[in-house]
A and B are shown apart, each in its own frame.
Chain A
Amino acid sequence: MSHLLEVKNLCKYFPIKSGFLKRTVRTVKAVDDVTFYVKKGETFGLVGESGCGKSTTGRAILRLIEPTSGEVWFDGNNIAELPKSQLRKARRHMQMVFQDPYASLNPQMSVAELIEEPLKVHQMYASAKERKEKVLEIAETVGLNRSQIDRYPHEFSGGQRQRIGIARALSLQPKLIIADEPVSALDVSIQSQVINLMEDLQEEFGLTYIFIAHDLSVVKHISDRVGVMYLGRMVEMGTKHEIYDEGAHPYTQALLSAVPIPNPKLRRERIVLKGDVPNPANPPTGCAFHPRCPKAFERCKQERPQLTHLGGEHYVACHLYDNESIGHRGKG
């Protein structure tokens, strides 16, 4: 299997400006040296708590915000370096579904106009009639009926709006869809409808997804491979099985132990993390997780761990697992 998307050393720093001359006093490293790949036809889940940089990563890939540095290889092009005119054309192949279905649709445009607009701009169909026919077809694919298509977004419920958002993204027949928390604004019952729809569409059109979420059960359900982010860094990455059953990073283990389980009689040990997520403008030295890590040792404070291959597709950025520390672990 080839890699549809390869992200190398992606960084997005936001400067904090202060004072009369607007000098940059500090930078927030929202995405810091993130590297991963997405295979054609799979769903790559990106998890982490609020503010860890998952959404920023998604947007920086599409250059909805300009990355500070790094490479984004998609379809043989480095998106990060494409000139604006070509970038616009490349966006046809990578679409995004946004978190807030209420705010992400222009209230002045009917559903038909919203879905049709990208088709028009990218001149996907020769005649207006053909294009309108296609709009109807897409709307029906996501479960909207013909009579609803001339209505405006405010006349729909949250779940319906998210379907409109998906229809819009789908209309360009993209290769990659980045879904940024597509269900977190929806009711649980509606969440499953939208998730099922996304899975059906993936099968039907051979789509590749990057699924950004903080709900670990949802990600487990839909993903083939999962990346875990903490404070702008990718701390662990692997197949669903490798992450959920053999999670290696102490942060991953803590996250997983917090997932509620349906059986009340089942007892298990919860790993409760001390303290809060540090201020990303002033991240800890070494491993960003060390102040909260139950297994931290001296080296974690000084040296930043790199992604280490654990076998299979499993990678982790933790000193517990790189070669130099094996001796330490033995002692401990």
Chain B
Amino acid sequence: MGKYILRRLLGMIPVLFIISVLLFSLVQAVPGDAFTQQLNPHVDHKYIEEMREKFGLDKSPIEQYFIWLKNFMQGEFGISFKNKLPVSELISDRVGNTVFLAVITLIITYLLAIPIGIYSANRPYTLMDNTITTFSFIGLSLPTFFGALLAIYIFSFNLEWFPSSGTMTAGAGYTGFRLLLDKLHHVILPATTLAVLSVASYTRYIRSSVLEAKRQDYVRTAYAKGLPRKVVMRKHVLRNALMPLITFFGLDLGSLFAGAVLTETVFTWPGLGRLIFESTVNRDYPVMMACYMIIAISILLGNLIADILYSKADPRVRYD
């Protein structure tokens, strides 16, 4: 197992290299740079040239890439063009918020999707099942930003149940448990908005997975043994049907750090998603590259974790 993990980790190096080249090319392909956009047109051209020189933008793209690569491998993400702050500082300020939002979203997703999916599968083609299916499709086809705006309109403006922005009440100075409650109060609206989309797809998936498991021969065998329905469901149907969720879970782990660009922006949630949005608007290359690389690494690691968990859970899957 140790060998397998090592092999997978080593395999990530070339993948990351290719991803970084692609990302760097894409970022460079956009015409102009941070300074053409940002600075006052009346500012002296010489000053802009000086700034470009200072941040190394006067060099050829290939040269720039290798400078970036060398720094990146040394754990040096560079300085943001816009804030003139180290990128690592910007990211570490935001990453906690993003992970908090993502974890709450995941919890809401699983708590809703698994019971709804199983309920649906146990009563296929009934009125209730069809209703759930209909709502799943509505959830799937609703754009996130629209859902977010709708949620803010209903639950913040009209009902005033939840705040529409921020991660905590500014200036309240809460500590300890009170602070946690305050944070939860702020996270529920964006997290639920994000969860609606994944609940919809998870529900569909779990429903079909459970339905398929129920048709299996070994389920009939279990009934023939004289097992009660509950035991058949738990030990034979669900144990097999929910196995593929591990793969989903791994992908979700990867997206923990990716942030939700649109949702974070609509809710002015200071996370990585919004950082990506802001840095893209400002052509802030060092920030963009660092964020994209973090996403790439976390998705690769999430996949690896899913594969490891799968081999632990399913006796048919073994890695040596």
Residues of B within 8 A of A (CB): 216-218, 220-228, 231, 235-236, 239-240, 243, 314-316
Contacts and interface: CB of A to CB of B under 8 A. Distances in A.
A152 B315 contact: yes
Interface string A152-183: 10100000000001001000100000000000
A122 B223 contact: no
B220 A64 contact: yes
Nearest to B236: A106
Interface residues of A, number: 28
Contacts, number: 72
Contacts of B231: 121
B225 A107 contact: no
A105 B218 CA distance: 5
B316 A168 contact: no
A230 interface: no
A88 B228 contact: yes
A106 to B, nearest CB: 4
Nearest to B219: A106
Contact of B220 (A95, A104, A121): A104
Given A64-B224, A105-B218, 7 more contacts: A104-B218, A106-B239, A108-B239, A108-B315, A109-B235, A110-B315, A117-B227
Nearest to B313: A108
Contacts of B314: 107-108
A62 interface: yes
A96 to B, nearest CB: 5
Nearest to A104: B217
A79 B69 CA distance: 75
A103 B315 contact: no
A173 to B, nearest CB: 13
A242 to B, nearest CB: 31
B315 A154 contact: yes
Contacts of A88: 226-228
Interface of A: 62, 64, 88-92, 95-96, 98, 100, 103-110, 117-118, 121-122, 152, 154, 165, 168, 172
Nearest to A63: B223
A91 B229 CA distance: 14
Nearest to A107: B316
Contact of B225 (A100, A108, A110, A121): A121
A118 B316 contact: no
Nearest to B225: A118
Nearest to B213: A106
Given A100-B217, A105-B218, A121 B227 contact: yes
B218 A103 contact: yes
Contacts of B227: 88, 117-118, 121
Contacts of B316: 107, 152, 154
Contacts of B224: 62, 64, 91, 95-96, 98
